Structure 1
């Protein structure tokens, strides 16, 4: 088991290096530091002196990969934009944003608000999606299944922005049940989280319920299900004891892979509800063209996604004995 985990981690290292190289190329080769300076300072009436000063202040005045002005080989490789801006990320040293604040400290302070919304959406959503999908499969080929599918398609056809705006208008402004936006401390947090959590669950319900229903229906046609029925087991026992258990691998594929990404937050929900999480942090950085923050968030998202894939592979060995044997 330990060897398997080590192999998966070693496989992830070149992937992360490749993502880092692609990110660096997009930010500093395709979009050069001179282009960044012009976007920050304004495209019109920008002098070369202003561009050079901006690059010097942000640490973009060095060569990209190789500093030929240095005599020592170590300095030739380390005193470059690539080493300072990309290699340092592997040590989670993200540097400073344009406003001078430390990016790593900002990430740490914003992870908890993002997690406060993402974790309830994930766990409550997963439980409700699987439950409704099992209910539809139990009553398959009936009016419950039919109208359930109609509802799922309707939910899928509505934009996530509609849920946010409608929820804020009805529950926040018209009925005044919850605040429209904001974030508090202590127990006051709950009243700010109710509406974002409900919208987060509802906006993804249609697609997820249909997906889980398809998984369960595929399992229902297999030989072990027919054998269980032939032994006289009740339909609900067949469904919950056998079908659900054997459908855990595809369920865990979609579920565990996104667990680390819970820390990244939701871009739309956090922005519209004024939650100071990583999602709104990213949106604000994009709007202000703070390249250091955007680049750091891209790298952090890649790391968390790879961790999610590793956790998924490990979970396979726990639920499927065949993988442990291999």
Structure 2
């Protein structure tokens, strides 16, 4: 695939040698382990650049998009979910709660491509509020190119996250400790912020931290559409070019990020709940 349909025997042999496919199976495994240990995944078929350098170059761009988008989404969705549970009870609050649920479900049924194309066209092209595409390597200058992708990411994440956090908070408000707090005279606001939110942190941490690896690579479409030279854009280009060495390196990096997320989850458990001990 890399050499084309009309590749010569010499070209095919060279590619097999580069990938280690000309060796016995056990030696291929040893070759792969050496690549992992040295973090040397060879060179890209498409650009002939060192893959490790390409990944290191893409990390700052991806983090400048994903970190603020992730934090804004987390704060906004938890706040809305808490507010919905807080208002639930009176007729007006119940109407608001059900209306938001319907809107969230409807929003989740729309493809992410629709959001990207519509908001890019309407806010970027029609109104001219934001650049449609482009990138500035300077940390200060790049933010004008990041506002619209971050906004789109937040909009894409609102529906599912609000429903998830609302479900967690709804489970908590029917627990015995909430009834005990009410019997002691605590107001609804104090119960929600001091007790419900704190006890809901364990499931929130679980789903939030596990999302991190998929978050970094999951901005693939946003980076591709907006020309952001991050890890998502790198993976998008590699898939389009059948750049197998880059794809292999990105899959390995995803696995490492996932294991790191699991470790971080356990550490945060112990910090949030003293009853959880690390061993």
Q: Name the TM-score, length of structure 2 as normaliser.
A: 0.92
Between 1:315-324 and 1:120-129, the stretch displaced more is 315-324
Are 1:95 and 2:42 counterparts? yes
CA drift at 1:286: 1.1
Is the 1:52–1:61 Cα contact (8 Å) retained in structure 2?
Answer: no
Indicate if the aligned counterparts of 1:111 and 1:264 stay in contact, CA closer than 8 A. no
Q: Which structure 2 residue ranges, 5 or more long, are not aligned?
A: none
Aligned to 2:275: 322
Are 1:308 and 2:270 an aligned pair?
no
Matching residue of 1:82: 29
Q: What secondary structure does 1:257 align onto?
A: helix
Counterparts in 2 of 1:43-122, with a 5 A limit? 43=5, 45-56=6-17, 58-60=18-20, 62-66=22-26, 80-98=27-45, 99-122=47-70
Any stretches of 5+ residues in structure 1 without a counterpart? Answer: 1-38, 67-79
CA distance in 1, matches of 2:21, 2:159: 50
Moved over 6 A (4+): none
* Alignment TM-score, normalising by the size of structure 1: 0.79
Aligned-residue offset at 1:65: 2.6
Which residue is equivalent to 1:299? Answer: 252
CA RMSD of aligned residues (A): 1.9
Please name the residue that 1:40 is paired with: 2
CA deviation after TM superposition for structure 1 residue 325, in Å: 8.7
Give yes or no for contact 1:117–1:265 (8 Å, CA) kept in 2: no
Q: Give the distance between the partners of 1:81 and 1:308, measured in 2 at CA.
A: 29
Q: Distance in 1 between matches of 2:153 and 2:200?
A: 24
1:150-173 Cα offsets, whole Å, 9 max, x none, are 111121111111110011110111
Higher gyration radius (CA): 1
Q: How many residue pairs were aligned?
A: 273
Aligned mate of 1:246, from 192, 199, 214: 199
Matching residue of 2:71: 123
The alignment status of 1:186 with 2:133, answered yes or no, reads: no
